[in-house]
Amino acid sequence: MSSVPPIEDAAVDPAQEQRLHPWSWLFVLLMQMRQFLLPLVALLVFGNRGDRDEMWSYAAAVVVIAVLVGVSILQFLTYRYRIGRDGISVRSGVVSRNRREIPFARIHNVVVHQNPLHRLFGVAELRLESAGGARPEAEMRVLKLSQALALEQLVRHRGQAPAVPTAATAEVAAATPPRGDDAVLLRLSPWDVVRIGLLSNRGWVVVLAALGATMQLFPRGTMSDAIEYGSRQAFGYASHLHPATWVWALLALVAVLGFWVLLRVFSVALALLRYYGFQLSEHERRLTVVSGLLTRLRSSVARRRIQAWTLRESPLQRWARRRHLRIDIAAGAAVENERRDLRELAPLATPEACDALVRHLLPQLQWPPARWQPVQQRGWWRLCLPALLWLPVVAAAAVWNGLPMGALILLWLPWSAFRAHRQMARMGYHLDAQYVAARGGWWQRWWRFAELDKLQSLRLSRSPLDRWLGTASVWLDTAGAGGSIPLCLRYLPEADARAVYAQLGQALAKRRLHW
């Protein structure tokens, strides 16, 4: 799926309307069946209270399936698309007829999706996404694989002109001349993908999903009774052996290690399913990500659509000298939740590789900054203020209710204070004529930055605590901002914060003059 055929080889005729693949109705039917699966199962299981009820239940199920088949075929027969000079025209609808014109310049992301059934039939699902859209502009279920890749290539060539020409985009275009072939920027080997699983905690997703499914499938109390019965039998058998204390400790350690190993196995399995064959390539200032073991995803986005950048590293990743590079693009929140693979330019790479990738894609920036502006340390205690307020209350309540061991929760206070001091010591920011960057975290470290041309709004914030300490925070926003880390310059002295706010405001006003 990583190779793109020429447009001429894909039988794309722009002179007439095109149909979807002949098996398109089957994939639409399967999607609808998945949505109605639970109601159908409930109808067949709970509707059978006698011979007559059983007959009516099966008849109703057959009618529902027949209606779904008819709707799927009608959607296939009424869906048309035409490729024009400036965009794609889509005509669809069974009862209410809709016609949608999608300019190539509006398409920010192209996703080619293949699950195992798609790969068996040699087809793919194509999604055209735009900035700020809660849903894709067009979803084509399904096209022939070569036809889907040809449409992706067509969007590449006809949607290259930047929407807002600026000096920065002109400099980038001059620094990166077009290439005839895709240039591979990053490729992950199978061992790299296994390392992603070993350094992550995604195994908890499988454990929690299994617990949720068990609670839904089995009656209330059945699982608790089974666990209680199994534990009683196991401890009863072990007590007859009269093991020593160190044997109990060893068994507990083995159980903990076994559970930890199981979590890592689940994490590795999820990483292989998602990142196997990961490849980041570039073609004519457009980035393409291909990944997936069973379900293959091919996402493409123009470099000018990238709004902000985020580097992160956990303690395990720092120990292994690895980082994670993520981007925000101009797209809606719902699209972001679906297309997380596009956000990750480097799921796991060395710090040097991540920095080199940033310098390649942003040649006008000096990354990493030579010097970070530090934050004053005198207000470090504000980061552990919640723990200072509620931990003594919880400990006092536990002791009052006859649980003296609850006072041990106060041992968290020294660690919370130490962590807050280290976090404040590592906070910093950088601001020049090209971009603004912030860094933070100590246990979980992160760096976040954006070009000044991509800023959308600014906000100067001062809480009552800020007014008491003489500090302020500058919040910045870009199109498509997402994730758990905001772009914010926190706890600056008030004079410095106002100076930064004025400088960024001038850059934002200058950008609006180009609109």
The angle at the Cα of 6, spanning 135 to 78, to the nearest 5 degrees, equals 45
H or E segment to which residue 308 belongs: strand 306-313
Which of 328, 336, 238, 345 has the alpha carbon at shortest distance from 290? 345
89/208 same-domain check: no
The answer to pTM > 0.85 is no
249/149 same-domain check: no
294 falls within a domain: no
By percentage, how much of the chain surpasses pLDDT 70? 77
248/262 same-domain check: yes
255 falls within a domain: yes
Is the per-residue pLDDT at 112 higher than 70?
yes
What is the separation, in whole angstroms, between the first and last Cα of the chain?
38
290 falls within a domain: no
CA torsion angle 60 63 64 69 (round to 10): 160
Which of 98, 88, 102, 91 has the alpha carbon at shortest distance from 133? 102
Domain boundary among 106, 136, 160: 160
Higher pLDDT, 229 or 410: 410
Position 169 confidence tier, pLDDT thresholds 50, 70, 90: very low
325 falls within a domain: no
96 falls within a domain: yes
Q: Strands (DSSP E) along 364-440, which ranges?
A: 373-374, 428-431, 435-440
96/22 same-domain check: yes
454/409 same-domain check: no
481/459 same-domain check: yes
370/476 same-domain check: yes
CB 129 within 8 A of CB 107: yes
CA distance 107 to 129: 6
Indicate the pairing of strand 80-83 with strand 183-187: unpaired
Q: Give the tens place of pLDDT for each residue, 390-421.
A: 989 988 988 888 888 888 888 999 999 999 99
217/250 same-domain check: yes
392/496 same-domain check: no
23/153 same-domain check: yes
Tell me how many helices (H) and strands (E) the chain has.
Answer: 18, 20
Averaged pLDDT for residues 189-206: 90
Report DSSP state, residue 66: H
Domain boundary among 160, 191, 225: 160
Domain boundary among 358, 391, 423: 423
Q: Give the tens place of pLDDT for each residue, 433-487.
A: 999 999 999 999 999 999 998 998 899 999 999 999 999 999 998 876 666 788 9
CA distance 438 to 90: 43
Backbone angles phi, psi at 178, to 5 degrees: -65, 150
Q: What is the CATH number of the domain that holds 481?
A: 2.30.29.30
Least confident of 62-76, 223-237, 253-267, 305-319: 223-237
309 falls within a domain: no
Give me the number of domains the chain comprises: 4
Higher pLDDT, 340 or 257: 257
CA distance 297 to 340: 11
- CB atoms under 10 Å from CB of 304, counted, come to 24
133/225 same-domain check: no
Q: Give the tens place of pLDDT for each residue, 483-507.
A: 678 899 999 999 999 999 999 998 8
The pLDDT value given to residue 44: 57
> Which single residue is written with the structure tokens 């609006």?
512
280 falls within a domain: no
51/121 same-domain check: yes
356 falls within a domain: no
H or E segment to which residue 327 belongs: strand 323-329
Is the per-residue pLDDT at 339 higher than 60?
no
Neighbouring-strand partners of residue 46: none
Report DSSP state, residue 315: H
The pLDDT value given to residue 329: 84
CA distance 326 to 346: 7
CA distance 179 to 476: 35
- Give the domain range for residue 443: 366-375+427-515
Peptide bond into 14 cis (omega under 30): no
Single-letter residue type at 507:
A
Helix, strand, or coil (residue 294) = coil
